[in-house]
Amino acid sequence: MAKIKKDTNLRKSILQAAITGQLINNVKGETKTGKELLDKIIEERNAKLLADWEEAKKKNPKAKKPTPIAASEIKEDEIPFEIPKSWCWCRLGDVVTILGDGLHGTPKFDISGEYYFVNGNNLNNGIIEIKSDTKKVNEKEYEKYKKDLNKYTIFVSINGTIGNIAFYNNEKIVLGKSACYFNVAIEDLKKFFFYLFNTDFFLKYALDNATGTTIKNVSLGTMRNFIFPLPPLAVQNAIVAKLEEVLPLVDAYENAVLQKEELKTALPDKVKKAILQEAIQGKLTKSWRKIATIEESGKQLLDKIIEERNAKLLADWEEAKKKNPKAKKPAPIVPSEITEDEIPFEIPKSWCWCRLGDVGDWKSGSTPSRSNPEFYNGNIPWLKTGDLTDDFVDIIPECISEIALKSCSMRLNPVGSVLIAMYGATIGKLGILNIEATTNQACCACITHEPISNKYMFYYLMSQKKALTEKAEGGAQPNISREKLVIYPFPLPPLAEQEKIVEIIEQMLPLCEKLGG
């Protein structure tokens, strides 16, 4: 049975989006640029050169003063794609303090030695992998061939298999020639470089410039001249954080067993469902919560919504009393109780469970009588569930009249209303209105209470399509019903986290579609 390779189309698309600034191109409050970061690195490298020269002069007064390092020139025809204005192009040689390769030859092996002789095939997803057949050398042999390895060191395989990557973590090793090593000028660059060297952009560059036929080899000069986009440091960190959020979702499907045609059709949907499920459980925003300032929890947000709804009830009652002094005072709204056996999954502590009816005003529509010609061909859009496409609704083919709106107990739903089909072949289909519209009785519209994100509501309902459909009742036309919708459990994050979840989902879902290409 087939195994999906690690470099799926989705993974490639995400990594390419990261290095072109489409995943994240700026960070709120960040004023630094990639060019300023590059200048700082060059400045520090030159300061180190001068310090080393001053030290050398103590032993040799005639020691030659080093030529200052300057940032490489990048010609316009060398630039492969556009990047954000705050980023800059540079070469690998600009941002590393040393770049070399391993031993060209074979050391003297010693089965009782403490140091492992590693090559490119020992580099695996960020770690140095010691295999059962990895040979060893003793300390004397190690001293002959040791390199300047430290916490700034990254290894990349450059002979045979190109692009395996590992960080140095104080392993006792001697490096072979099929791998190169370089020490980045700033340790914070390491993780960004890890993802950069996993992109097709780097691999294509390396293979296009490699020599050899049977066994490809990338020279140190080729590595040194590698042109790449350099974001400001804060943006790099944000890109790394985002990739660490989303790539595990891809990893979850690497070992999925699918036939070729099934892969094209089923996998995008499976990944989409996984993304939505992770999102509504708070897993996509786990890293974000560690650095975010949460001013209002989900429970506080819910209490605020209930308070404002009660204030509106009282205001309406006061207004009603002007016409009818005996108007009955409304009972206060209270948050719905959610029993433990209703909770389908765990959510973060800053979230709370409530019901869909607590956070939105739900109403289904109706179908004006076709026998009355005055009800149709007006200017009020009238949506049927077949018009829903799990997307924004901009065009609705059929319209009804003002007379129908007033006569048929219908609501004109405002822009931003979330729609869901309740029965029939389209059950569970969704939409968000970009225009004011009424609906037929098979569609329920939700006007979310302020400040609930209607997009978060939309994606939550999308994640629950299967569960909601299973609750439908009836024979030929199973019906979810408005009554079932308003009591359905809803995980409520703080508003800022709702918006962050929507942002991540909308970055991820378009990339899922590329899996089927």
Instruction: List the chain domain ranges.
Output: 33-231, 296-335, 340-493
- Is the confidence at residue 216, as pLDDT, over 60? yes
Query: E-assigned strands of 95-209?
Result: 96-101, 115-118, 123-124, 127-128, 136-137, 153-157, 165-167, 173-175, 179-184
% of the chain surpassing 90 pLDDT = 66
Q: So what's the pLDDT on residue 295?
A: 82
Q: So what's the pLDDT on residue 292?
A: 81
Pairwise CA distance, residues 227 & 90, whole Å: 6
DSSP 345-360: S---TT-EEEEHHHHE
Query: Residue 382 corresponds to which tokens in the numbers above?
Result: 């009238």
Strand partners, 448: 360
- Is the confidence at residue 263, as pLDDT, over 80? no
Mean pLDDT, residues 270-288: 89
- Is the confidence at residue 258, as pLDDT, over 70? no
Q: So what's the pLDDT on residue 511?
A: 78
Q: How confident is the model at residue 269 (pLDDT cuts 50, 70, 90)?
A: confident
Q: How confident is the model at residue 510 (pLDDT cuts 50, 70, 90)?
A: confident
Q: For the whole model, what pTM was predicted?
A: 0.56
Q: So what's the pLDDT on residue 298?
A: 93
Give the closest residue to 289 by CA, choosing from 457, 15, 493, 490.
Answer: 493
- Is the confidence at residue 1, as pLDDT, over 60? no
In this structure, CATH architecture of domain 340-493: Alpha-Beta Complex (3.90)
3-state DSSP percent of the chain in helix, strand and coil, to 5: 40, 20, 40
- Is the confidence at residue 256, as pLDDT, over 50? no
- Is the confidence at residue 122, as pLDDT, over 80? yes
% of the chain surpassing 70 pLDDT = 93
Q: Of the ranges 6-20, 24-38, 111-125, which one carries the lowest mean pLDDT score? A: 6-20
Do 33-231 and 340-493 have matching folds? yes
Give the closest residue to 304 by CA, choosing from 343, 359, 366.
Answer: 359
Q: So what's the pLDDT on residue 135?
A: 93
Mean pLDDT, residues 267-273: 76
Give the closest residue to 31 by CA, choosing from 233, 207, 251.
Answer: 233
Q: How confident is the model at residue 514 (pLDDT cuts 50, 70, 90)?
A: low
Would you tell me which CATH number, out of the four given (1.10.1200.10, 3.90.220.20, 3.40.190.10, 3.40.50.2000), belongs to the domain 33-231?
3.90.220.20
Pairwise CA distance, residues 41 & 47, whole Å: 10
Mean pLDDT, residues 373-400: 94
Residue pair 423/477 in contact (Cβ under 8 Å)? The answer is yes
Pairwise CA distance, residues 92 & 229, whole Å: 10
Query: E-assigned strands of 296-440?
Result: 352-355, 360-364, 376-383, 391-393, 399-400, 418-421, 430-433, 438-439
Mean pLDDT, residues 203-211: 93
Q: How confident is the model at residue 262 (pLDDT cuts 50, 70, 90)?
A: low
Residue pair 49/68 in contact (Cβ under 8 Å)? The answer is yes
For tokens 């061909």, the residue is: 377
Q: So what's the pLDDT on residue 515?
A: 60
Mean pLDDT, residues 382-386: 94
Provide φ and ψ at 318, rounded to 5°: -60, -40
Q: So what's the pLDDT on residue 3?
A: 38
- Is the confidence at residue 250, as pLDDT, over 80? no
Strand partners, 216: none
Mean per-residue pLDDT of the chain:
89
Q: Which residues lie closer than 8 Å to 155 by C-beta, 6 or more apart? A: 123, 128, 165, 166, 167, 168, 175, 179, 180, 181
Query: Residue 243 corresponds to which tokens in the numbers above?
Result: 């990739």
Q: What is the pLDDT of residues 168-195, one digit of tens each?
A: 999 999 999 999 999 998 888 899 999 9
Q: So what's the pLDDT on residue 26?
A: 81
Region of 394 please: left (phi>0), alpha (psi -120 to 50) or beta. alpha
Mean pLDDT, residues 298-321: 91
